[in-house]
Amino acid sequence: MIADAVTNVGGDLVEVTALMGPGVDPHLYKASAGDLTAMMAADVIFFNGLHLEGKLTEVLEQTEKKGIRTHAVTESIPPESFIRLEGAEDPHVWFDVILWMQVVMRTRDVLAEVDPTHGERYEENAAAYMEELIELNGYVRDQAERVPEGQRVLITAHDAFHYFGRAYGFEVRGLQGISTATEAGTADVKELSEFIATQKIPAIFVESSVPKRNIEAVRAAVKARGFEVEIGGELYSDAMGDPGTPEGTYIGMVRHNIDTIVKGLHGEGPSRDD
């Protein structure tokens, strides 16, 4: 998502290397020797921060020591906008498109600081991209409203969707916490399956960067309680889809997610997609 923001703002003025590709879980990601070489050769390193890249801290300290500009994109968001869970700030800010727009604006400023001769170009690119993001935000809001209010409950493999829930009016529950580094226990499966069976939640969702077995276990536990919950489809939580597919961009990923959620939770009314 970060590489996509930098690419949109930088256009052909920057060469962007994304270290974490499709399906890669940033909570567990460790830099390979090749990744380290790429980082050491960079003009700027953008990362999410708020401990999303939990195993990258030492590497980032090294690159910073070497004098490479290192920028945590969540620094562009005012602290009062952060959701706090489990005593920590939730790092999954990209699911609130309005918050992500602040990341894009700050990306523009960082690129202009590093490469001031092209400041105007970065400004133009960012302005054009921001218009697309405003439209995207409206799309997500409109689609979310198709799910009747009482049915707006989103259950996924890990707690990645709280910003989404706050921005677009969904109650959100993840089987694992805000980091996948802690495994879900049997008590978590029991509690969540009880909730699903009692509330008769129609669908739960797997995530592209998290193994599916945990959500399958929840489904089986719900079935044992005499209720059938569907797997509503696959959401892109902490990684985008394959390059060259619509889901390989931030905008495409966000659209895919809301479309999948609305379908799984039996959204009503005609799709307002054009």
Which residues are near Zn ion by CB under 5 A? Answer: 160, 238
Q: Which is nearer to Zn ion, 158 or 255 (CB)?
A: 158
Q: CA 222, CA 227: separation in Å to the nearest integer?
A: 6
Q: Which is nearer to Zn ion, 125 or 257 (CB)?
A: 257
DSSP assignment of 162-195 equals HHHHHHHT-EEEEEE-SSTTSPPPHHHHHHHHHH
CB of 87 to Zn ion, least distance (A): 16
Q: Which is nearer to Zn ion, 95 or 139 (CB)?
A: 95
Q: Which is nearer to Zn ion, 96 or 238 (CB)?
A: 238
Q: Which is nearer to Zn ion, 125 or 176 (CB)?
A: 176
Q: CA 90, CA 79: separation in Å to the nearest integer?
A: 11
**Secondary structure of residue 17 in the 3-state scheme:** coil
Q: Which is nearer to Zn ion, 51 or 266 (CB)?
A: 51
**∠ CA 104-107-112, rounded to 5°:** 130
List Cβ neighbours of 57 (8 Å cut-off, separation of 6 or more).
none
Residue 105 token pair: 């604006």
CB of 212 to Zn ion, least distance (A): 15
Q: In angstroms, how far is CA 238 from the centroid of its own chain? A: 5
CB of 183 to Zn ion, least distance (A): 14
CB of 133 to Zn ion, least distance (A): 21
DSSP alpha helix (H) spans, the chain: 2-10, 33-40, 57-65, 97-114, 119-144, 162-168, 186-199, 213-224, 250-264
CB of 238 to Zn ion, least distance (A): 4
CB of 144 to Zn ion, least distance (A): 21
